[in-house]
Amino acid sequence: MIAAYLVLLIPFIGIVFFAFAGHKQDTGRLNVRFNAITLAATVWLAVNVLNNGTILSSDKAFIIDSFNVYLIVLTAFIGLTTAIFSAPYMEHEKELGKLTERRLKLYYSMYQGFMLAMYLVLTTNNMGVMWVAMEGATLATVLLVSLYRTPESIEAAWKYFILCGVGIAQALFGTILLYYAAVQIGDGDNALLWSVLFENARKLNPEILQIAFVFMLIGYGTKIGLVPLHNWLPDAHSEGPTPMSAVLSGLLLNDALYAVVRSKMLVDGATQGNTAGLLMMGFGMLSFLVAALFLHRQKDIKRLFSYSSIEHMGIMTFAFGMGGPLATFAALLHMTVHSLTKSAIFVSVGHAAQLAGTQNMERIRGLIKTQPQIGWGLLIGTVAIAGFPPFGVFTSEFLVLLATMHSYPWLAPLLLLGIGIAFAGLFRHIQPMVYGEQPEGQLPIKANLWPVMIHLALVLWLGLAIPDFLANWFSQATLLISGSMPL
Amino acid sequence: MNWLLAVIQTMLFVALAPLLSGWLKWCKCHLQNRKAPSLLQPYRNLLKLTRKQPVVAEHASWIFTKSPYIVFSAMVLAASVVPLIAVDLPSAASADVIVLVGFFAFARFFLALAGLDIGTAFGGMGSSREMTISSLAEPAMLMAVFTLTMTASTTNLSLAIEHVLHEGLVLRPSFVFAMFALILVAIAETGRIPVDNPATHLELTMIHEAMILEYSGRHLALIEWASQLKLMLYGVLIANIFLPWGIAQGFSAQALSYGLLTIIGKLGVLAILLAISETLVAKMRLFRVQEYLSFAYLLGLLGMLSHIILEASR
Amino acid sequence: MNIEQQDFYTQAILSMAALVGLTSFLMLGQGRLLRLIFVFALQGLLLTMTTALAAYSLDSPHLFISALLTLVLKVIFIPWMLRRQVLLMNMHRDIEALKNNTAVMLGGASLMVFSYYVLHPIVQTSSAIMLNALAVSLSVVLLGMLLMISHRQAVAHVVGFMSIENGLFFAAIVATKGMPMVVELGVAFDVLVAAVLFGIFFFHIRTSIDSLDVDRMNRLNEVDQ
Amino acid sequence: MVLILAYAAVLFSFASGILALLTNQRPRLETLGQKYLARFPKHQRCRNMLNDGFQESRYPILLRQSTFVLLGLSGLLALSAGLGVLIGQQVLTDQIPLGLPWLPWHVRFDGLSGFFFLIIGIAVIAISLYGPGYVQAYQEEKHPFAVLGLFTGLFVAGMLLVLLADDAFFFMIAWELMSVASYFLVAFQHENSANRRAAFLYLLMAEVGALAIILSFGVLASFSDGLTFDALRHANLSSTWASIAFVLALLGFGMKAGIVPIHVWLPEAHPVAPSHISALMSGVMLKVAVYGLIRFCFDLLGDVHWQWGVVLLGLGTLSALGGILYAMMQPNLKRLLAYSSVENIGIIFMVLGLAMIFMANGFPQLAALGLLAALFHAFNHALFKNLLFLGAGILQHQTHSLDIDSMGGLIKRMPQTSFLFLIGCMSISSLPLFNGFVSEWLAFQTALQVNVLDNGVLRSLIPVAAAALALTAALAAACFVKVFGLIFLGLPRSRNSEKAQEVEDKGMLLALKLLAGLCFFFGIFPSLIINLLNNVAKQLLGLSLPNDTALSWMWLAPVSAQKASYSPLLVLISVLIATGISFWFLRRNPETKTMRRSEAWDCGFGGLNARMQYSSSAFTMPFRRIFAKVWLIDEQITKDMQGAQDLDVAAIHYHLQVQDHSWPRLYQPIANAINQLARQVGRIQTGNIRVYLGYSFVTLILLLWVVSL
């Protein structure tokens, strides 16, 4: 259990430290160290869970089960690799004069703040606290989105702030309704504890829970970026600093989805129907298709990939909504591989943008000629995210497809259509950037592509074979969520 | 013994080919009341050509000099599988009618290459047109042949002919169509009027002759002989497939001689008919040939359909 | 059952609910920023009183704390900050011409009915009072959104945002006698931070487009020019 | 044992890919080697070897050669594995502990896979001989060998894995590995935009096709338990669903095989890849697609419908005719060859269709015959198409061009290449004595067995298809007469072809010799292959050709000696005799024996020069006239006038562009539709935050209403 507290404590120290220590040359490296320690703590936590199953803290404030434990580790891991990438990146930005010492100070301390919020969302057992943490994540990142202080970045941050604020407020109303329903059946203090609720979900009033779920879905869905609540997402991704985009895509969206799934589990327990699932499927499919179409008309490279994030979150939401062991397993896997791949892509995108000095895709050319690692990194990453084997994304999408064929055959063609359109949308933009002759005077930059390689290697590994402990967790989580094991 | 017979039949075939074209020319001249050369004139020409030293363009490659041999032997092979005076000779089994078509293609392929070898415009024109016409003629021919082979349910020529013989005189609409199709194809393939004019010297109207303009001496002799063989092959095909009566089924000397006489008779008649048609019909423009050949194909198709619908319907 | 059979506390709560709803309507129709802020402060005050009342009559002391928080945040701090911004920008004179105001008002009214309709299942679990209270708070939330949709001033957006918070808070108080303490504190903290951030943003927005009209922030879009 | 060979083949190809990655690692390796050898002071010889191995100059060559050696070994292993399983007539299964927790990779190695292993093996051996000489033309900084080698290895490995796969998941992974690797190879020379476009198109089509295949597997899977092929085999689905699955599979595999009208990527992608890769793609990858279709229809779906057969027959005919007609119009050699691949795939599909029809009508023996013909043609096509593509590579190597109209007269400058190329041309235009003819002959034989069928429609339809096949063959002959005649005969049309020399690298010629030799050998002794194929049919359909039609080593009598027979050997012998006699007879006279060389007669016009020759477009003009409807022809003649009132012509410019119908008819509309849709969707993101809030508001109201219904 200490591990869990450590996981929360270290980032907190980080916030305070960076806030007061001020920015030095090696702050970036310090940030890496903090994340590394956290990662170690999470691994320790994971080992505990691996050995003796679900951990419920004595005061029931925290719960670590097979559903969130690997998400925690994933969060820590991506936090670390992104930090590794961001240290030289932010320095380079500073040299370009885009950023000042003070802003970097803010950046690092808020980076830790964001991580803290993420860990809190994942570890807490209390739906209310989960909400608080989620809002906290917004507050922590909103200033980072506007870090460059350009009109666009400010506009993006404002939209992010308002839309997510309003959305999250609706989630709070949902939480209150949930609480209300819980109070009807039990004591007020533990009434928001997820574990308690999950145990006696059957007793909860289904109608109220349905309404509550609508609010939560819309609230957290705004953060997932479900169409039509997604409008903040591309703006925030494209205008903020690239490391931020990496963690937003890789972590925040996942955790929002995590919150939705947690509440769905309660609702499914209460209403023995599948209303929640159908709602999620609808949203998922809509987001998936619309985002796929949006891919075709992008000019900004980071916008492009943020839309692809929406698309993939759509797939996951769809899969979770479809329920059933196969789909759920696929969705869990997809969560993992998507965050790994997407953050890797954003890292290489960041380098590419620095290389070309612009985010405008018409002006990024000949990356492979200029700096092969970056070009290949971007290309391979895109191949992976487009769902080509042997990368893991293919595995999950394949499973989703099969599950769809099983339960909703007439949706499968739609899904395939979306995948095809999305693929075309990505590649028609990526190809001209990586291939071809480079423009005059485009020179290689100092880049650290280890994160990309590691992530892609992991995704490849997951595509070829899923290690037993992970498979075990997935199956456990599947059992927890869908009520039965995958095949 | 049988193999010997087969070889003899083939030699006979080769030997008689010039005679047939001589006879054809003779009839034509008389129909056009010109003074006819002697029937042996083709032999004399061949002999003369073989005696001459061939003149070859300086940048001709081995394709040009070797093609005549290839073309000639392909035709000889074709001759070896077509029953002339007797059926079920062993040589017939070594290649069926599809392979026969293959032989023609083989010869054509090299002739066309030879036409392109020198790099003259005439040669190119000749091979281009030859390939065009033949590629249109081949399906028509196969259509006609398939009618036969499906009736006899074999593609082995001599077996098929035997089958027709055994059935005796049956009136098959399919055969009528097929025969006409085959005749049309034969005229196109052997470069006779109205498709091509063997006697022409207006270069732009010729097809077959254009390819062999550069040949001389023994090469020319071989090619001439090969084309005479081709003419005779088609004649024999038409004669023996559709009116096989008289062909020898046993190997007794009397049956064989009888077979020889009948085939000579049939060919003679066919030649007369051809001469008449060549006298009456004028050569057509190159780009009307496809209509002509598609008509042939149509006939072949009709033959096939009438076979399936009228004769073999179940 | 009817109101006269209810105990005094309930009656008080219901009347409070009515007042809160009214304030929301007032805000919705309000074109002048200063008045808007004033009404918002009023709403905060009503909330505070409600909370205090609840805390007193249900003797759950931790509600006093949240009452205090509400007072400080929503009655004093935020209105003061907003007012300062308005004066800084000297926007206190110009009136925002609301398009088809009456339609918006009618829409608000129908929203109230809608919230009753939606929350109806609650009757099964408890009294109609709860239904009323929750319905009012839901409609406050919805009205808050409507306010944001209909107004173009960033300040108005903040007010709308905060009034949504108010609605939630009200729901929490009347329906569930307040959330667990940790949640209460967390929410309050978030609101505080949000308020501060809003302050910062006003500054940035003003420096970038020297106005607080959100309609002028539409650089980032996907429409073909 | 055999399975181990197969695995080894895969591993070796992987290894060659990995080895290629070391191209730029010379310094690191060197230091590593030094450090290692430093431990053993006495191994002076090794150190010397190492040193001269790591010389700046030698290292890249050494690496290249060893890469291709590994590739060649994998080819050899594949060949032997294929032969082993074919002769042993066994079915080997295995599981690899990869993939999903509940679904490891299933492996199955049977006759069918074995036969395609054979094809791949031969092709890979050929290119591994050919490669080293060919790739040294690329300079390293522009076209890194690491990329080429890596993806070549992965490509081969992918193809082999597809053949081994025994469950849908593994199959798709291998399939996509093959597609993606080949995509990178197509994009290898990415500096000119045409290649990039081609690569994109290729990957897009590959993706769409793969999705279709996944869907077809999904249909089967949803009627069975599990994804292993065994489970799918036992899926009992209604004939409607079966037909749906078939159509999807046909779409998927057909897209890869490049049947008209979904062939568009093929003539774009194949020509732009390096020649040995084009050879692999055109000669082998398409066959893998054919394998997929056979596996899916005959093995997984099991009971086929005759309607499917008709569909295949129709599409096949369309592809065969369309392919060869389009091919004929191409002035670019590699494009032409790519289109002719479309034609040959069409032929294969036709025969497969026949097999299906016979199968469905209860004549498994004839079905076996059809299958046999199809597989044999696949084999032959692999041989001569590889031969031709590699030859094209040599031509490009020596004349720096692929434009037929800029070549000519090469037969004297490149005697060996020209001879080998001629053999390729003869077998592809299915002339007797060569392998192409045998498979076509078998196809005809299959078609002519039609009167066993009861269905009158089929009985009249199939002969027509057969006639179309004949037309195809004739057109192919015309097409390749043009190819050989214009490239090698006549006078050189450009300075490059005047200066062209025979390629000096022995390996490249050796590869061509190997393939040409096989073309001829199997043209004379087809029964060797056919006996192997019999085993495949036995395993797949449970039936093979009857024994009474003993396929002895010199006779070919597929149905029965009574119905048809063909003995290539006898034909060859008699050809030799006839030629020999006439040769001897005509050249016995000493003074006429020698030929006199003089300038061409040319009807006495004289002054012959290269520009008077027939060009590619001239040669095909009659076909353009006759089949005008098949293409989109854009033909323009412009005259430059000069002199007084510009009355006399100075120069005439002739411009001809021949285009494929399917592009503007099929693909353009789809692309436009998607862009239009995207534009419409873009409208929703106005950039105004109040609108966004409105969305959220409306959604909330809507959902609340929905759930409270």
Whether D and B touch, i.e. at least 3 CB pairs below 8 A, reads as yes
Q: Do A487 and D102 touch (CB under 8 A)?
A: yes
Top residue of D434, D574, D576, D581 to mutate, by most chain B CBs within 10 Å, is D574
Residue D553 pLDDT grade (very low, low, confident, very high; cuts 50, 70, 90): low
Instruction: Say if CB C54 and CB C60 are below 8 A apart.
Output: yes
Bridge-based pairing state of the strands D596-598 and A63-64: unpaired
Instruction: Say if CB D445 and CB D561 are below 8 A apart.
Output: no
Report the distance separating Cα A196 and Cα B105, nearest Å. Answer: 86
pLDDT at C126 over 70: no
- In sequence order, the 6+-apart residues with CB closer than 8 A to the CB of A209 are A177, A178, A181, A266, A267, A270, A271
pLDDT at D567 over 50: yes
| pLDDT per position as a tens digit, A132-177 | 999 999 998 998 898 988 889 999 999 999 999 999 999 999 999 8
Neighbours of D709 (CB within 10 A): 4
Rounded to 10 deg, the angle between the B97-117 and D435-448 helix axes is 140
Any A CB within 8 A of D452 CB? no
Residue D623: its H or E element:
helix D621-626
The torsion angles phi and psi of D650, rounded to 5 degrees, stand at: -90, -45
pLDDT at A189 over 80: no
The answer for D637, left when phi > 0, alpha when psi is -120 to 50, beta otherwise, is beta
Q: How many domains does chain C have?
A: 1
| pLDDT per position as a tens digit, A307-359 | 999 999 999 999 999 988 999 999 999 999 999 999 999 999 999 998 898 99
Computed over every residue of chain A, the mean pLDDT equals: 90
Residue A165: its H or E element:
helix A151-185
ipTM for this model: 0.91
| pLDDT per position as a tens digit, C11-66 | 888 888 889 999 999 998 888 889 999 999 999 999 999 889 888 887 778 888 88
Nearest CA in chain C to A135: C190
Taking Cα atoms as reference points, which of A422, A341, A325 lies closest to residue A378? A341
Q: Whole domain around residue A380: which residue ranges? A: 274-487
Report the distance separating Cα A326 and Cα A400, nearest Å. Answer: 7
Q: What is the nearest CA distance from A291 to chain C, expressed in angstroms?
A: 12
Q: Do A435 and D187 touch (CB under 8 A)?
A: yes
Taking Cα atoms as reference points, which of A47, B193, B303, A164 lies closest to residue D467? B303
Q: Which of A161, A166, A189 shows the shortest C-beta gap to C180?
A: A189
Whether residue C149 is contained in a domain is answered as yes
Q: Classify the C-alpha dihedral A233-A239-A244-A249 as positive or negative.
A: positive
- In sequence order, the 6+-apart residues with CB closer than 8 A to the CB of D256 are D179, D206, D209, D285, D286, D288, D289, D292
Tens of pLDDT, residue by residue, chain B (314 residues): 788 889 999 999 999 999 999 999 999 999 989 999 999 999 999 999 998 889 999 889 999 999 999 999 999 999 999 999 888 888 888 888 999 999 999 999 999 999 999 888 889 999 999 999 999 999 999 889 888 888 888 888 888 898 888 888 777 888 999 999 999 999 999 988 888 887 766 666 678 888 888 899 899 999 999 999 999 999 999 999 888 888 888 888 899 999 999 999 999 999 999 999 999 988 888 888 889 999 999 999 999 888 887 876 55
For B244, counting Cβ atoms within 10 Å of its Cβ (0-12 exposed, 13-18 middle, 19+ buried), the class is buried
Residue A55: its H or E element:
strand A55-56
Report the distance separating Cα D95 and Cα D107, nearest Å. Answer: 6
pLDDT at D548 over 50: no
What are the beta bridge partners of residue A55?
A64
Cβ-Cβ contacts under 8 Å between A and C: the total is: 125
Instruction: Say if CB B279 and CB B32 are below 8 A apart.
Output: yes
User: Which chains are adjacent to chain D, needing at least 3 Cβ pairs under 8 Å?
Assistant: A, B, C
Any D CB within 8 A of C99 CB? no
Report the distance separating Cα D219 and Cα D241, nearest Å. Answer: 7
Q: Whole domain around residue C186: which residue ranges? A: 3-91+111-211
Please report residues of C whose CB lies closer than 8 A to that of D705: 114, 118
Top residue of A385, A399, A405 to mutate, by most chain D CBs within 10 Å, is A405
Q: Report yes or no on whether pTM surpasses 0.90.
A: yes
Residue D663 pLDDT grade (very low, low, confident, very high; cuts 50, 70, 90): confident
Rounded to 10 deg, the angle between the A450-464 and A372-385 helix axes is 30
| pLDDT per position as a tens digit, D635-661 | 898 888 887 787 888 888 888 888 888
What are the beta bridge partners of residue B73?
none
Whether residue C55 is contained in a domain is answered as yes
Whether residue A30 is contained in a domain is answered as no
| Average pLDDT for D396-412 | 91
Computed over every residue of chain C, the mean pLDDT equals: 85
Whether residue C130 is contained in a domain is answered as yes
Q: What is the nearest CA distance from A239 to chain C, expressed in angstroms?
A: 10
Q: Whole domain around residue B300: which residue ranges? A: 2-311
Q: How many domains does chain A have?
A: 1
Please give the angle made by the CA atoms of A235, A239 and A242, to the nearest 5 degrees: 120
Place of tokens 């494209």: A238
| pLDDT per position as a tens digit, D77-122 | 999 999 999 998 889 999 999 888 888 999 999 999 999 999 999 9
In order of D18, D181, D322, D341, D387, the CA distances from D152 in angstroms are: 10, 7, 30, 21, 18
Report the distance separating Cα D549 and Cα B93, nearest Å. Answer: 14
User: Which chains are adjacent to chain B, needing at least 3 Cβ pairs under 8 Å?
Assistant: D
| Average pLDDT for D235-246 | 90
- Name which residue leads in pLDDT, D461 or D159: D159
Any D CB within 8 A of C215 CB? yes
The answer for D226, left when phi > 0, alpha when psi is -120 to 50, beta otherwise, is left
Tokens representing D53 are 């191995």
